[in-house]
Chain A
Amino acid sequence: MPALRNKNCNYISNKVISITFDGKSYSAYDGDTIASALLRNNIRLIGRSFKYHRPRGIYTCGIEEPNALVQILNEHNEPNTRATIKRVYEGININSQNRWPSLSFDIGSINNILSPIFSAGFYYKTFMGPKGFWKKIYEPLIRHTAGLGKPPKNFRSKSIHQNHNVDILIVGGGLSGLIAARKLINTDNEVLIVEQDSFLGGILKNSNKVKKIDGKSVFDWVKETEKLILESKNIKILKNTLVTTYNFTNHLIALEDKFAGKDIDTNKTELILHKIRTTQTILANGHIERFISFRNNDLPGVMLASSFEKYIERYGVVPDEKPVIFTNNSSAISLVKSLINLNCKPGAYIDSRKKKDIEDETKDYLSKNNIPFYPESEVEGCEGNKKVEKVYIRSSNKEISSINASMLCPSGGFNPDIHLFTQSKGLVKWDDKIISFKPDTAFQNTITLGSVSGNYEFKNLCNEINKKLSFLKVNDLNLDIETNIRDDFSISELWETKTNKMSKWAKSFIDLHNDVTTKDLKQAINEGYDRIEHLKRYTTNSMGTDQGKISSINSLGIVSKILNKKIAEVGTTTYRPPYAPLSFAAIAGRSTYEYYDPERKTPIHNWHIKNNAVFEDVGQWKRPWFFKKNESETMHQAVQRESKQTRQTAGIIDGSTLGKIEIKGKDALEFMNLMYTNAFTKMKPMTSRYALMLGEDGMIMDDGIVCKINDKHFIATTTSSGAPKVLSHMEEFLQTEWPHLKVFLNSITEQFTTFNISGPKAREIIRKVFTDIDFSNEKFPFMTFKTFDYKNTQARIMRASFTGELGYEIYISPKHALELWEQIFNYGKEFNLVPYGTETMHLLRAEKGYVVIGQETDGTVTPLDLNFNWMIGKKKKDFIGKRSLTRSDTAREDRKQLVGLVPIDKSFFIEEGQHIVECENLPNKIKTPIEYLGHISSSYHSPNLNHCISMALIKNGNKLKGKKLFVSTSRGTKNIPVKVVSPVFIDPENKRLVS
């Protein structure tokens, strides 16, 4: 039989829809949450707990839910969804989580019986050894058993971000928020109201506490207010939107669910992350009820009293007709009245307060309605098979009696929801009257209104709001708020009741989400974790997805009792954003997959694809790594083929990704002399030079070729990924240190497409392409360049090489790049011209002993370490990094220096990154550290020499030439014997280069 329906509820439609839970079909109403739909069908067991796999039900009716987390089996396969806020739609398919093989019979619940070993600090104590067990046994085991839902696969988000700039943000569309909004209607302030529910009204819709406002029913008053707001010129409302983060400078983040209560349409935006900047923030986000710890306070059927009332008033479902109510404060009588209105009667009303403190109205009302009343009593615990069946009551005379009941509603008082306020760095203060923390000093332009400010009394509300908003110079608003219960709030402190019955099963929980018991808190304190921040991490208390919303103050209460301190002295843990879990999809917005980072492609990109290039990412660039001649060719084979062919005839590489910076201006020469190590003054116009750029610490930052057109005009190339950094570096010094220099910088990376053709046949090929240019060695020597007109665009050819062969670098307009590239191939066919990628480029330059920035250098290498003394303009007075080269540490002779290494047995291969040592074998067990001389920075199998060649940085390497050393391997303890040689393996006399 379905649960009783409250027909007076205005928020649920009569439209019946069908939902599926754990494979079974049920009916629900449009507008239900998963929780209200399940309660409507009398389903109380929803999931299994995190650690002990105890049966759990629905505990609350909102964002604070610690238990009822479910998996939605839709396209996104949404795990850990709060059943209490996720709205149902026709055909929604829901699964319970963390149970196997089924919800009612779960093997993991053995953990509950083994619970003594799962107590506080379990993870820290248990998995300490033996060695290797963590990786092979513990971790896979924990990963299998722990955790909740299953993550989605192939998830593609349709979320977007939206920015708002408003004068006033009102967080919460409840009573206080609406009063504030009414005051602001048609003022000059631009206002945004954010409400997490799909209806405005807050406590007016969630409870029976307020009867009438200005003589109107609360429903009509909210409707009227909403109409006034929507008709106003200055106020906007966002519903189904939760503010999760309050940052510095009044910057708040809110998440809107565009598909609340609807099946996801994958073509439409699902979530919107609102980034709100405001001048004034009004927090009217209310309060959260807390529980009381007692034996088995986690059994399905235990539900917070105000949540129970919310199900009746907001969702029109009465979860149980005879619940037992257990309270330490004056508010729970409102639930009794809600039930009596529907002809239901609570099974018992247990109030822990002293008889004299209990309001006469409450006593009278209970006796008039014949409700069993237990003043000065408490719930000792409850029992039952996967649900509440019996409730044990400790009466004022300490006798324990039991009554039958199927639901139990504790109310432990209310916490102002200070989460956002403390995120904004506001200070909170303990209030003995409400027994909770409440906002004190705001740090930003923040105002708290209503229950979040600790004001639980309706009659003071308008006064409070008028006073706090008086600085806005808006009219006062005084409403006549008529309540159903006595307005003054009274509470007595009660965090935990004493347990009489001890068994392995019986537990009194403090954190339901993370399965932390009150016993764990005590044990942790006994073990010395008496600081609240330590205690939290040691026990994992309030660290679950609910962040201890209903329990964190309770744990402070219990801890303060043990430590015999005041709660204010114990302090609270830090509240950090987000307020409630945010989906990563929402944070990512549109920055996913191909939109995550731009891909930069050269004008030749499509040709590369057609010619079976395998690409490599270099910064944001896609560069051909190697070209596959046929399907079966491996990378090694391709690179060996490309390298060999280039040295035999010719090869060409697409170098468009090289950074290019144009330096122009009256003082360009002086500027270049300061930025680079090289001396440019005596350099002839129309020549080029390999140049080094250092950081102020003397370490190599970047390299490239600098072309000097004249003293006022230079073009510098940079490494492919270093271009933005080099440009920024130049700009920084130009603006901050030498603003008197008249120099202009311009990035021309994408204005010129670059090819580098090299090999003994390069000249013969290029002669055929550019018939007007004299390429003879005399007229076009090494390290010179020519500019010319190519089809009415500027073009430049430079004689330079990164392979050690005769080479020409062509700079051409991207417009003509592809046709020229194809033309070169036409002419190159007879010479077997081969296109090569970055891997071959690296191999060829290593054969010649050229370094790669970022491979041979790592930010700790000076030019001297690479024997680049010849590149340093020693006669220059100053350049960036110059002074650092003579610092005692950089001038030291025994620094790591660049050398070449070849294996003595030519059949061996040396791996990159391996260490160089002096011993032939590594001992089986290392007792004292082995001295490490350096590391391999580059290593290749040279097809032209037919053995392995390596470059390495070795301590005092310059003095070790000819010496035998050893290189470690990734397998075994036997090292490879190598000989230290010069790093130039091919053509040390530069015969090929200048031919």
Chain B
Amino acid sequence: MILIDCPYCGEREQSEFTNGGEAHVIRPKNPEALSDKEWGQYVFYRSNPKGIFYERWNHTHGCRKWFNAVRDTSTDTILKIYKLTDNRPDISEFQSSLKSPSGEPAVGSGNFAVKK
């Protein structure tokens, strides 16, 4: 279970939080002006990358505040936590972060426990 550093309460166990999916998906200002496709894109489509991911968390069993996090989905490492009012950190900040242990390919998974 990972630890999450709530910007309002401090470090707490993951079980206190709820993941809210991709961050920085902004609700369109004028939905009526959008085509079905554009609106559908907002409602249904989210990215699901292997690697660096900007996502939302809610401290459900704590302060109930929403905040954003940057997480490496291949290692489950949280790289940065920031408030909703903060700017989106640039991806270049994280390029040098931990690589997955086995240098797995970008897509798919498998057993890579043995070092080649």
Binding site for B on A (CB under 8 A): 247-249, 251, 277, 422, 425-430, 437, 440-441, 443, 533, 568, 571-575, 696-697, 728, 731-732, 735-737, 739, 877-878, 882-884, 887-888
Contact = CB atoms under 8 A, between A and B. Distances in A.
A739 B85 CA distance: 10
A697 B44 contact: yes
Interface in B58-83: 58, 60, 64-66, 75-76
Given A878-B32, A882-B31, A533 B111 contact: yes
Given A251-B1, A883-B31, A696 B43 contact: yes
A126 to B, nearest CB: 29
Contacts of B114: 427-430, 437, 568, 571-572
Nearest to A570: B114
B9 interface: no
Contacts of B60: 728
A674 to B, nearest CB: 10
B113 interface: yes
A427 B1 contact: no
A279 B79 CA distance: 17
A735 B113 contact: no
B113 A422 contact: yes
18 contacts: A247-B1, A248-B76, A249-B2, A425-B75, A425-B101, A427-B101, A427-B112, A427-B115, A429-B114, A575-B113, A732-B58, A735-B84, A736-B66, A737-B26, A737-B27, A739-B85, A882-B32, A888-B36
Given A426-B101, A737-B27, A739-B85, 12 more contacts: A247-B1, A427-B112, A427-B115, A443-B101, A571-B111, A697-B43, A735-B65, A736-B56, A878-B30, A882-B31, A883-B32, A888-B36
Nearest to B39: A883
Contact of A883 (B2, B34, B76): B34
A280 to B, nearest CB: 16
A251 B44 CA distance: 35
Contacts of A251: 1-2
Contacts of A571: 111, 113-114
A696 B32 CA distance: 13
A739 to B, nearest CB: 7
What interface size band does chain B fall in? 20 to 34
Contact of B113 (A247, A572, A732): A572
A425 B75 CA distance: 9
Contacts of A883: 31-32, 34, 39
Contact of B115 (A429, A728, A882): A429
A248 B113 contact: no
Interface string B3-18: 1000000000000000
B115 A441 contact: yes
A440 B101 CA distance: 11
Nearest to A698: B43
Contact of A887 (B40, B56, B112): B40
Contacts of B113: 422, 427-428, 571-572, 574-575
B48 interface: no
B84 A739 contact: yes
A731 B40 CA distance: 23
A441 B32 contact: no
Contacts of B39: 883-884, 887
Nearest to B76: A248
Contacts of B89: none
B97 interface: no
Nearest to A533: B111
A709 B29 CA distance: 29
A882 B1 CA distance: 39
Interface of B: 1-3, 20, 26-27, 30-32, 34, 36, 39-40, 42-44, 56, 58, 60, 64-66, 75-76, 84-85, 101-102, 111-115
Nearest to A531: B111
A568 B60 CA distance: 46
Contacts of A732: 20, 58, 66
Nearest to B56: A736
A646 to B, nearest CB: 39
B43 A573 contact: no
A696 B34 CA distance: 14
A989 B112 CA distance: 70
A248 B112 CA distance: 17
A887 B32 CA distance: 11
Nearest to B33: A883
B95 to A, nearest CB: 19
Contacts of B26: 737
Contacts of A249: 1-3
B38 to A, nearest CB: 10
A883 B40 CA distance: 10
Contacts of B3: 249, 277
B102 A427 contact: yes
Contacts of B36: 887-888
A956 B115 CA distance: 60
A736 B84 contact: yes
Contacts of A572: 111, 113-114
Contacts of B76: 248
Contacts of B27: 696, 737
Nearest to A424: B101
A113 to B, nearest CB: 38
B65 to A, nearest CB: 7
A277 B26 CA distance: 37
Contacts of B1: 247-249, 251
A572 B102 CA distance: 14
B81 to A, nearest CB: 14
A-B complex: 4 closest residue pairs judged by Cβ atoms: A883-B31, A443-B101, A427-B115, A425-B101
Nearest to A442: B101
B101 A884 contact: no
B24 to A, nearest CB: 10
B111 to A, nearest CB: 5
**Residue from B64, B112, B113 whose CB has the most chain A CB atoms within 10 Å:** B113
Nearest to B113: A422
A571 B116 CA distance: 10
A440 B20 contact: no
A451 to B, nearest CB: 20
B102 to A, nearest CB: 6
B66 A735 contact: yes
Contacts of A737: 26-27
Given A443-B101, A696-B43, A735-B66, A248 B2 contact: yes
Contacts of B64: 731
B34 to A, nearest CB: 7
A883 B34 CA distance: 9
Nearest to B20: A732
B75 to A, nearest CB: 8
A885 to B, nearest CB: 11
B23 to A, nearest CB: 9
A878 B84 contact: no
A572 B111 CA distance: 8
Contacts of A574: 111, 113
Contacts of B84: 735-736, 739
A402 B3 CA distance: 62
A672 B3 CA distance: 36
B115 A878 contact: no
Contacts of B34: 883
Contacts of A888: 36
A573 B111 contact: yes
Contacts of B112: 427
B7 to A, nearest CB: 13
A506 B36 CA distance: 71
Contacts of A429: 114-115
A427 B102 CA distance: 7
Contacts of A696: 27, 42-43
A249 to B, nearest CB: 5
B86 to A, nearest CB: 13
Nearest to A732: B66
Contacts of A884: 39, 43
A441 B111 contact: no
